[in-house]
Structure 1
């Protein structure tokens, strides 16, 4: 078991060192893009920060979707979010607008809606959901990378 842990740590260290070599030009080039699992660049404009999400919520200009499993919501959720578990995202986004509203109780996001935001616990599943949404044509969808774990740290209790 320890050998496996050490091997994984070594691989991660090598990958990190390799990425660092790509970013030694002093520019923000490595902060601007993240590669998704589809090797498609993800612009930081596609990520919503805590401050941006709070602003969107205060003006009512957000369609917020929590892609965690329903049992995870027992620990809490961001107010106003609609739950669509990650495994259901593709099917949900393929529904027609009437079916979507009937199933989830909210309007279906439009393909060009920039207020369509996905989140999960720490940003991993929401990034996957974002990739799915992008593959289905939701070109301006975004995700809250900090997720619920950041939300509960920053949100006044």
Structure 2
């Protein structure tokens, strides 16, 4: 999906080290059970649209985390190869989120 902002692995490391990134792993729960980036929030891409439209309290109850705000910077989506991360980035853009990006490819670096 052209036009989706991407974040390189070095940029991601820098953002994480400075506490400036919010990571969302959009893989399935089964995939995440095998491992993910520490601190990443798992919201499977199939749930992302409804999750980003939830009331903050409902989001907190379901995901045990604060709901991202539309204006949050460095909201970064990732998956295994990039297809779902790109899909998630486009979905967030369509819902009015402005500070987003995707890590691609995660597995290859």
The runs of at least 4 aligned residues of structure 1 exceeding 4 Å deviation read none
1:95-136 per-position Cα deviation (integer Å, ceiling 9, x unaligned): 112211221111111112122110000111000011111110
Q: Tell me: higher relative CO, structure 1 or 2? Use CA pairs within 8 A at least 6 residues apart.
A: 2
After TM superposition, the score normalised by the length of structure 1 is: 0.65
Check whether the contact 1:114–1:142 (CA below 8 A) recurs between aligned residues: no
Picking from 95, 111, 115, the partner of 2:70 is: 111
**Greater fraction helix:** 1
After TM superposition, the score normalised by the length of structure 2 is: 0.92
Picking from 51, 64, 72, the partner of 2:10 is: 51
Q: Secondary structure at the match of 2:3?
A: strand
The match for 1:84 is 43
May I ask how many residue pairs the two structures share in their alignment? 109
Check whether the contact 1:64–1:118 (CA below 8 A) recurs between aligned residues: yes
The match for 2:53 is 94
1:74: Cα distance to partner?
2.9
Picking from 99, 102, 107, the partner of 1:143 is: 102
Greater CA radius of gyration, 1 or 2?
A: 1
Q: Which runs of 5+ in 1 are unaligned?
A: 1-35
1:59: Cα distance to partner?
1.3
Q: Which runs of 5+ in 2 are unaligned?
A: none
- CA–CA distance in structure 1, aligned partners of residues 33 and 22 of structure 2: 21
RMSD (Å) for aligned C-alpha atoms? 1.3
